[in-house]
Amino acid sequence: MPLLVMKFGGTSVANLDRIRRAAKRVGVEVAKGYDVIVIVSAMSGKTNELVGWVNETSPLYDAREYDAVVSSGENVTAGLMALTLQEMDVPARSWQGWQVPLKTTSAHSQARIEEIGTDNINAKFGEGMRVAVVAGFQGISPEGRITTLGRGGSDTTAVAFAAAFGAERCDIYTDVDGVYTTDPRICDKARKLDKIAFEEMLELASLGAKVLQTRSVELAMRYKVKLRVLSSFEEQSDEAGTLVCDEEEIMESNVVNGVAYSRDEAKLTCLSVADRPGIAATIFGCLSDAGVNVDMIVQNISEDGRTDMTFSCPTDQVKRAEVALNGFKEKGELNYAELVADTTVAKISVVGIGMRSQSGVAAKMFKVLSDEGINIKVITTSEIKISVLVDRKYMELAVQALHDAFDLDKAS
């Protein structure tokens, strides 16, 4: 039988009524002749509750026990979904990560998938099972311990299963009805996209769009998994949602296809650093060892053998960065005058595969922000993206102005 992967996020399985609603969608696909692998998240809010319990019990927790506790939310949902399907006379069984098995690295709370065994589930399909309900977000380490894939890991689980089993399609059900040109809560002119290229979706996801987890888009692009984002709260049609696909499947695209933002950004600057070979390697090696996720980097022109090094990172990693860099300074491995942190910035980005063949996008973006009186603190670019750091108080104004300027409310 053809195979379909369906993933339901936390809001889609938030209570028993929503689980029943999701199960009915699964039943529709089974009636069409599909075998279905359903990937489920924990009920909405449950993972945060479990994380809170861990932190309250042991602030300096053992990551192996963290994973054992936090992964339990998905186990509950998987069991309830399987029971609901059985009540509908659909042959279903729940599966935890270790039963599949979904093999991962040993990096607890941030494990990466290494292999998905297909024999166990395929054997059960051969025996008459029509739906395998798999607990997302979790796997098993080489040591036989439960691991988790990081927040949003159920998206990654779903795409990985679609790749491993050669699924016809991977449908991601969430609380929005597709991918929008920007956040509709900030810009009421935001428009749902019928299709978006993998590369654009990957940039948007990494730049703050919350629709899909970044690693899931990377996997989909690598293994050419047809990915569709849908709402679990609206009536469905074959054209519903947004299809994430190869660039070749999109006939014509706007120069800019989306505006993303990240509110929780910080800008740190090492003032008057010795400008010598290897200084950047020292600074960013130190930050890497401390687990700081550095994004934008700018180095000023050297003067009298000294320079300023500026970078951005998530606001919740500022303290970690400060401790790491000051530690290197105290040990004499770094020499800078002062470390200045600005935690009141936001990152605004425009993304579009059309930027490859169209000039003037950066100039237009900067002119729009200038006309609104918004000062740019840092700029980075790639082939299909331009990102800037601005004062956080101007974030919504910047998103709305850029959305209007690039006519994103209009289809190409």
CA–CA dist 207, 52 (Å, integer): 27
Predicted local distance difference test score (pLDDT) of residue 236: 67
Q: pLDDT digit string (tens) for 74-125? A: 999 999 999 999 999 999 999 999 999 999 999 999 999 999 999 999 999 9
Residue 389 has pLDDT above 70, yes or no: yes
Q: How large is the angle between the packed helices 395-405 and 361-371, nearest 10 degrees?
A: 130
Predicted local distance difference test score (pLDDT) of residue 252: 66
CA–CA dist 180, 203 (Å, integer): 14
- How much is the mean pLDDT over the chain? 92
pLDDT band at residue 304 using 50, 70 and 90 as cut-offs? confident
| Tokens coding 28 | 């529709």
pTM confidence score: 0.80
Residue 207 has pLDDT above 90, yes or no: no
CA–CA dist 184, 305 (Å, integer): 48
Predicted local distance difference test score (pLDDT) of residue 147: 97
Q: pLDDT digit string (tens) for 211-238? A: 788 889 999 999 999 999 998 887 766 6
Nearest to 312 by CA among 360, 245, 265, 248: 265
CA–CA dist 183, 396 (Å, integer): 10
